[in-house]
Amino acid sequence: MGTYNLLMAGVGGQGILRATDVLAHVAMAQGLDVKKTEIHGTAQRGGMVYSHVRFGQKVFSPIITPGNADSLIACEALEALRWAAYLRPGGKMILDPARVVPPMVTLGWFAYPGDVVGRLRERGIDAVVVDTRPITRELGDRRLANMVLLGVQSRFLGFSLEAWRREIRSYFPEAVREQNVMAFMMGRRYNIG
């Protein structure tokens, strides 16, 4: 296989680094070469967070360049638009439409974009919209949205369900292990229409 490029983007606290760590471990367990890069220095301070994961027979640079992502998981609507140019033509976007409004919008300096799905469609991106809020409400923890989205993504990757479960279980500490597996499964079974 060629190199698969996955980008996950959102806001600090959304568990992007964890979700992409799990993906990287799944790929590594298949004997693939994996590289991953992320910028998280200011993540806790309301800054954006992104993580690039690339896996294949041999990977040199961990950086995905614009127009080359096979898949983009956007954990927030504005961030989906920001990173859309990274998706290759025909690439897959999984979008959580939940909004995290930046303080600069609250201050009136900028406007939060409306009709994100429509704007994506204008760019030729038919996003898989996954509103994680009802799911995480049911699970009782908003922070599980990352695993729901990863579960949806897993359907577009060839790895076996067992491989995913194994890596999620070995990645998370016992106290939150099963709830993460559960969130992943709910994403995997999500009706994407």
Of 62-70, 87-95, 148-156, 175-183, the window that binds another protein (rule: CB under 8 A) is 62-70
At residue 128, the 3 state secondary structure works out as strand
- For another protein, the closer of residues 38 and 131 by Cβ is 38
Beta carbon of residue 193, minimum distance to another protein (angstroms, whole number)? 26
Does residue number 102 form part of the binding site for another protein (CB under 8 A)?
yes
User: How many angstroms separate the CA atoms of 133 and 142, rounded?
Assistant: 7
Does residue number 124 form part of the binding site for another protein (CB under 8 A)?
no
Of 44, 57, 160, 170, which one interacts with another protein (CB under 8 A)?
A: 44
- For another protein, the closer of residues 81 and 129 by Cβ is 81
Q: Are strands 48-56 and 4-11 parallel, antiparallel or unpaired?
A: antiparallel
- For another protein, the closer of residues 23 and 185 by Cβ is 23
Q: Which residue has the tokens 């067992």?
A: 162
- The strand pairing partners of 92, in sequence order, are 71
Of 169, 192, 178, 159, the residue nearest 32 (C-alpha):
159
- What are the residue ranges of helices labelled H in 30-173? 77-83, 103-106, 116-122, 133-139, 145-154, 161-171
Q: For residue 125, give both structure tokens.
A: 């991106």
Positive or negative, the CA dihedral 130, 132, 133, 137 is positive
Of 56, 88, 97, 113, which one interacts with another protein (CB under 8 A)?
A: 113
Of 107-115, 131-139, 175-183, 184-192, the window that binds another protein (rule: CB under 8 A) is 107-115
- For another protein, the closer of residues 17 and 155 by Cβ is 17
- For another protein, the closer of residues 115 and 126 by Cβ is 115
Does residue number 111 form part of the binding site for another protein (CB under 8 A)?
yes
User: How many angstroms separate the CA atoms of 154 and 25, rounded?
Assistant: 13
Name the residues that contact another protein, by CB under 8 A.
Answer: 11, 21, 24-25, 28, 33-42, 44-48, 50, 60-63, 65, 78-79, 81-85, 99, 101-114, 142
